[in-house]
Amino acid sequence: MLVATTRAPVDDPAFLYSGERGARVSLTDIGVSIPPATVRRVGEVQWPRRLPPDPRTEFAVLRAAPVDISDSRRWMDEHLHAKRNVLIFVHGFNNRYEDSVYRFAQIVHDSGGDVTPVLFTWPSRASVFDYS
């Protein structure tokens, strides 16, 4: 999936982005491993209990590669499915970056749609008390 965000990047590769506003839009090509149907039901996300996650039983990010804004058109051309359908997801209130990535991966996977997934995630701190 292609993830566009206005969040501030962090130095920890396990998290990539914080809940703070960044200086610019950033793009990342993300690959998510989803555990087999034998260990999860449709509509469920098996959240990692610890890092690194176990892809056999938990959702796990397997690839996170920055995409330069100037290369976004090329990325889309390379990843666009035959039907040329794009599904754009914008998360709701109170979501961390990784929450949005895993939930959208689950939605795309479970729907079985022939789509190119694009996620937009905005600065959200995942706590009602962090907004003032």
Question: What is the average per-residue pLDDT within 67-89?
Answer: 94
The strand pairing partners of 60, in sequence order, are 33
For the chain, what percentages of helix, strand and coil (3-state, to nearest 5) are there? 20, 35, 45
Residue in the block written with tokens 């292609």: 2
The amino acid at 27: L
pLDDT score of 82: 82
Question: 90 pLDDT band (50/70/90 cuts)?
Answer: very high
pLDDT score of 13: 78
Question: 104 pLDDT band (50/70/90 cuts)?
Answer: very high
SS3 120: strand
Cα–Cα distance for residue pair 111/124, rounded to 1 Å? 26
Q: Which residues contact 90 (CB under 8 A, 6 or more apart)?
A: 119, 120, 121, 122
Question: 132 pLDDT band (50/70/90 cuts)?
Answer: low
Cβ neighbours, 10 Å, residue 42: 10
Please name which of 127, 79, 123 lies closest in space to residue 100, comparing C-alpha atoms.
123
Note if the pTM is more than 0.95. no
pLDDT score of 67: 98
